[in-house]
Structure 1
Amino acid sequence: MGIKKEDQKPLSRGFIVESLTMRIEALVHLIKSDVIRAAISSKLGEIKDIKALYQLLSLAQASIENSELIENKIKGGLTFHPITGELLSELDYTEIVDYFIEMGKNEMNTVKPKNNNKPKAV
């Protein structure tokens, strides 16, 4: 007799965070690069966001085989987006921020005609 899907309780957030942390800790020892190992270990204690932990797990798994390639991408350290939890270290997000600022300025300067379509009196 198996447990029905409806009877299963969803996993708590703390359990998922703890499981991901333990999995990353197990993988850190397999990483050849000291730079990557230190970066992942330092961030592991700080991060409690599930999305960021999944990103860190992916980085740890990829670093086992391709540590030289990844080491070049994280020279500036690991940085995570505070809202989405995405790893920003290899992304140049300054261009995106500049684009949104410019778009906001254009939006403010553009006057939109008001739509005053009133129904005709019968």
Structure 2
Amino acid sequence: MWLSNCKNVLQIVDNKDSFGIRLDVSHFRPEELSVKMQDGRLFVEGHHEERNDQHGSVERHFIRKYTIPETVLQDSLESQLSDQGVLRITAKKKAVESPQFTNIPIQFNSMKSDK
């Protein structure tokens, strides 16, 4: 699924095998970013103090919150920051078990008439 209305959200993937988010955080240094989990929610935060740029000065701060699907293996969550400023957060999902069938024996009772 691609999202075009959120400029810093590049991609969200939620399929049967994995969950992932890609964010453009190119305005932040690695030490200005944090990724945390709490109660099934993922928090991505970035903050940098005031800096001068070609237009004056700017201070940036954002917090993005995501509800993680229950099928995500939270211990498998990883985050990586590329040198182009793309933060990638990925996780594996629990294997979906195939439905188990139980054979139920069919009992056959012959009906004998008592004439």
TM-score over 0.5 for the pair: no
Structure (1 or 2) with the greater strand fraction: 2
TM-score of the two chains, using structure 1 as the length reference? 0.22
Structure (1 or 2) with the greater helix fraction: 1
Structure scoring higher RCO (CA < 8 A, sep ≥ 6) equals 2
Higher radius of gyration, 1 or 2: 2
